[in-house]
Chains A and B, each alone.
Chain A
């Protein structure tokens, strides 16, 4: 067995659905089995619901790879699958029965997996066939499966080595992050996670904090997601949390923190009263219309949520690096919030260190599991290196936490627990008292490693050119001032033009990409706002023209240009993406021309590129001049954002011929390969003429805008922006269905509209609002 061509998922609950979607997204057919077909059909329907809040499929259309079945249909169906994943309820008796049945109908050699989140995998397959035992492995996913990369691989005692290897390679290839764990209760991430959660509950009592205070500090200030503690609990389900904690309490009798993980009475009460969190509508929090209420554990009543303040949290927000934030938060010896945070961080580090050798081979695996399964920016152990190991030990003693042997050993020998460089991660190995190395992947291009090998050709404050070997140059956006958004600024645009100086010297193709959290979430707005307020319209025109020139030069370049968008790819980021002659997109792409949100139109060539692309891709059906314009208008007018790269193709931001990769790690390498492949018979794309419908169609759109205005479906300013968009997209004053216009004219229209809108108070308000609040204003 070395290829997964067909998969069966047994159990169509939330996790079953998420796992089924994972394969459907890879276009691997998957059968979902449940007690009856109605149940499995419900699972498929939920996945393909186009209004799903957290879409698990790349597009609803990917649902066609999932077929619903009843378990009574095993006989004819189960034998088709190369891999069978059990996702039935977390009750040992049910699991055992499920595997007995699966064993009867599976084909020999097929891989059998359980998604149990913490039951003993050895027990559940007791009595199964030899062939099943050898092909059995725990594969534990995290919810929501599409967005959390961790997969814990838990081999059984008889599992063949090649099954483990195949799973690791397969999941890595589709963009997941597998780690190897051991068959211990709750495995790695949930074992530590349950402890962290329960410890936080105890510390909350100790320091007399409120639910809101705890969530305020245990989120981003401690390098965790915004869901922090209690919102995470509501999301996961308080019953799930309760059962996981109970499982740990009952099955880890020697655990030094056993009493800590015993669920407190109020958790038990919440479970009894079916206040389970999001799925029942109330838990730690409850919605009251638009307002949010929070449970008071003492009075057992919901009261309005408060917004607590804290100096250390406020101070921490000023730091981009998560390690620095943590250090600031735990650094105040008088503030109870800080003391709480300090004890939580140290206790969790100590608990994690004590699990090394028990739940996983090494501390590196534990840190990774916590980062990939709980979306933590920093692992619970590696933070100690940033605090300082000796200082950490001292602080642990202050808090009454026993200093773990591993920490003591590290202090005495290497002085380090964890050390990450671009080429490797080194971690403290207990038995040998040395630092062991895990090399970074070399089969893909990881930019930190490339940069470390002196491959940077040019560099400025926000971008650099990097030699990717084989004559391929990489243009990397790296806006160090705003790394989370990676916006386009003057430096980026300057670097775009410097490409044309470097390519003739040593290179033959260009990739535009990066490995930041997001490809590029737009253009720098601060400067635009200042220029707009100062009414320096010539300068604004120059900004627009600079990006237009850079983008169009790349599109028409006499060498291959491949853009590699991923994550948020908005506004100017999407315009650069569109300038690629070919795109290699990461499947997780949230891309769109969203300029309307800040009151302007795409004016870096985005209107032109999208319009030309729409006309080209629809040309076969001879739709006439208006339909491609309306499709472009629909995207730009509403600032639509794709839910995946596949969705971007359906919307029309990307072309069917563009390439989608599931694994972000593999994107740059793939983009480089595509760029090299394009060298064969490469021809520059000539200047285009666009046949647009002209004024007559503008009036049609204008009429619709007026109608929406009258019905108050638009504000005056939104209508004004829409008119500018329509003017550009229908071809201004020059186009008519018999007279094409050239690229330069559309670019001119972009600039005119851009400048006109920047001069309005309402657009300036939109820009200012976005800068302040990070979300659009509709005025």
Chain B
């Protein structure tokens, strides 16, 4: 099969709401995702709905309200043609990176021309771990189910990342996010969500002006001897994001510019006790496939599961801070697990445009020991 160029036409996400008293607690994950998809399609009227081959939805805990093949529910609820196929993807935190990869892979070999990749997670209404978690004895004894916080502590120790460094990194995440909001950098990315009580949510709830005194006074959250605190971990949050993925051919035909093309992608496994390092092998693989070097990359979107984990990756990989998470990362914005894959891809494109760069990577670590990376190239239109 011939391989064709595939790119991303547009990206939108909901505001990200907090677990406690979050505005989005009024809605289900399905309802939030459906609104995002609808807003995205409304502002892309040139895309004929019958050209959409498939909707893929990434969700880390696809059960309860996010169960019953939530992707198919989104298709019907959003009013997409009944012929549009739907598949729900679970790869924990990389779920909607994977749902995007699947579309890109299919379209690149001619199995369809366009698709919608959705990421969603409602961490309050469908809690992390799901409702009926159960562990296998053998794997449990091998520490396969190690808590995410514990993996961050391991990396902090091995990477000699101090609590102060983690706090500094987290503060920067909040300041970047606040500045992004102040500058209107999310004007295109974030679409307002209507609530049943008649109000609308328009803004992320988590970024706040950091209170250094409070941050420094927090007790370690996972290990009393450790360095990781609530302030240096991504908060439990809720939200949804969506991307329109399209072949370059169709884009040209319809006269819709591709905001970026997907150069290549990679997922790599790693030690589950050090799951936070996943972006390193995944990115190495992806860059080598793309024939690029790290220095060719202008923009890095690295999902901040934990400050310790992000700093470990940056230290070991020699990743430059000045290119990373310029609009704030998950520590400030929040990390609704299944949503984050689509968010880092979309946000990478937004930053590429802002800094007028060419190449970006969107990457994240994955519980259970994986990393996922997407390499993006900004398409410059002839003037």
Residues of A within 8 A of B (CB): 623-627, 693-697, 699-700, 702-703, 707, 710-712, 737
Mask of B205-229 contacts with A, CB within 8 angstroms, 1/0 = 0000000000000011111100000
Q: Could you tell me if A703 and B145 are in contact, using CB atoms closer than 8 angstroms?
A: yes
Query: Is A711 touching B133 in the complex (CB atoms < 8 A)?
Result: no
Q: Is A707 touching B135 in the complex (CB atoms < 8 A)?
A: no
Return the contact of B131 from the options A626, A699, A702, A703 (Cβ within 8 A): A626
**Shortest CB–CB separation between residue A183 and chain B, in angstroms?**
50
The answer to whether A697 and B150 have CB atoms under 8 Å apart is: no
4 extra A-B contacts, CB within 8 A, seeds A625-B132, A707-B149: A623-B132, A699-B134, A700-B129, A700-B134
- Contact residues of B with A, CB < 8 Å? 129, 131-137, 140, 145, 147, 149-150, 219-224
B134 A697 Cβ-Cβ under 8 A = yes
Contact A695:B137 (CB < 8 A) given known A710-B150, A711-B221: yes
Q: How far is the CA of A645 from the CA of B67 in the complex (A)?
A: 36
A705 to chain B, nearest CB (A): 12
With A699-B137, A707-B149 as contacts: A627 and B223 at CB distance below 8 Å:
no
Please name all residues of chain B whose beta carbon is closer than 8 Å to the beta carbon of A707 when the two chains form the complex.
147, 149-150, 222
| Contact in complex: B222, A696 (CB < 8 Å) | no
Give the shortest distance, in Å, between A144 (CB) and chain B (any CB).
29
Question: Given A695-B137, A711-B220, A711-B223: A627 and B131 within 8 A (CB)?
Answer: yes
CA distance A347 to B300 in the complex (A): 84
Asked if B145 and A699 make an inter-chain contact with CB atoms under 8 angstroms apart, the answer reads: yes
Asked whether, in the complex, the Cβ of A697 is within 8 Å of the Cβ of B222, the reply is no
Chain B residues near A626: list those with CB within 8 A: 131-134
Tell me which residues across on chain B come within 8 A of A702, comparing CB atoms: 140
Kindly list the 10 A-B residue pairs having the minimum CB-CB distance in the complex, ordered from nearest: A696-B134, A712-B224, A699-B135, A624-B132, A699-B140, A626-B132, A700-B133, A710-B223, A707-B147, A697-B134
Residue of A694, A695, A697, A712 near B133 (CB, 8 A) is: A697
Bound Cα distance A702, B136 (Å):
13
How far, in whole Å, are A777 and B150 apart by their CA atoms in the complex?
A: 29
- Chain A residues positioned under 8 Å from B140 (CB to CB): 699, 702-703
By beta carbon, the residue of chain A nearest B220 is A711
Across the interface, which residues of A come within 8 angstroms of B224, CB to CB?
710-712
**Complexed CA–CA distance, A712 and B225 (Å):** 9
- Given A703-B145, A703-B147, are A711 and B135 also a contact pair (CB < 8 Å)? no
User: 12 A-B pairs, CB-CB below 8 angstroms?
Assistant: A624-B131, A624-B132, A626-B134, A696-B137, A697-B132, A697-B134, A699-B137, A703-B140, A707-B222, A710-B150, A710-B222, A737-B134
Shortest CB–CB separation between residue B64 and chain A, in angstroms? 10
Contacting residue for B222 out of A623, A695, A711, CB 8 A: A711
Cβ-closest chain B residue relative to A710? B223
A388 and B292 CA atoms in complex are apart in Å by 103
By a CB distance below 8 angstroms, the chain B residues around A737 are 134
Least CB distance, A285 to chain B, in whole angstroms: 30
Q: Which residue of A lies closest to B223 (CB)?
A: A710
Assembly CA distance A710 to B226 (angstroms): 9
Across the interface, name the chain A residue whose C-beta is closest to B140. Answer: A699
Residues of chain B contacted by A625 (CB below 8 angstroms): 132
| Complex interface: chain B residues within 8 A of A710 (CB) | 150, 222-224
Per the bound structure, the CA–CA distance linking A626 and B135 in Å amounts to: 12
Task: Report how far A712 CA is from B221 CA in the complex, Å.
Answer: 9
Which A residues are in CB contact (< 8 Å) with B132?
Answer: 623-627, 693, 697
Distance A693 CA – B130 CA, assembled complex (angstroms): 14
Which residue on chain B has the smallest CB distance to residue A703? B145
In the assembled complex, the CB of A588 is this many whole angstroms from the nearest CB of chain B, namely 31
Closest to A627 in B: B131
Taking the closest CB of chain A, its distance from the CB of B222, in whole angstroms, is 5
CB of A621, distance to nearest CB on chain B (Å): 10
